[in-house]
A = this chain, B = another copy of it.
Amino acid sequence: MKYPKGIVKHQTNEKNVIYGNRGMRLEQDLNLTNEYYRENDIAYIYKKPTPIKVTKVDYPSRKSAIIKEALFEMPSTTDYNGIYQGKYIDFEAKETTHKTAFPLANIHHHQIEHMRHILEHRGICFLIVRFTVLNQTYLLPGEDLFSFLETAQRKSVPLSYFMEKGYLIRDKIKPRVDYLQVIDQIYGGVKPCKKEMENKA
Spell out A's residues near B (CB within 8 Å).
15-18, 20, 38, 41, 43-44, 46, 48-55, 57, 65-73, 75-77, 81-88, 90, 114, 117-118, 120-123
Which chain B residues border A44 with CB–CB below 8 Å? 114, 117-118, 121
Contact B53 A50 (CB under 8 A): no
Copies of this subunit:
2
- With A and B bound together, what is the CA distance between A50 and B57 in angstroms? 14
A84 CB, nearest partner CB in chain B, Å: 8
Determine which of B38, B81, B121 lies in contact with A85 in the assembled complex, contact meaning CB atoms within 8 Å. B121
- With A and B bound together, what is the CA distance between A41 and B70 in angstroms? 32
Interface secondary structure of A, over-half rule? mixed
Which chain B residues border A90 with CB–CB below 8 Å? 83
Determine which of B17, B43, B46, B123 lies in contact with A54 in the assembled complex, contact meaning CB atoms within 8 Å. B17
Contact B88 A86 (CB under 8 A): yes
Which chain B residues border A120 with CB–CB below 8 Å? 41
A178 CB, nearest partner CB in chain B, Å: 18
Question: Which residue among A52, A90, A114 has the maximum number of chain B CB atoms within 10 Å of its CB?
Answer: A52
Contact B17 A53 (CB under 8 A): yes
Contact A16 B53 (CB under 8 A): yes
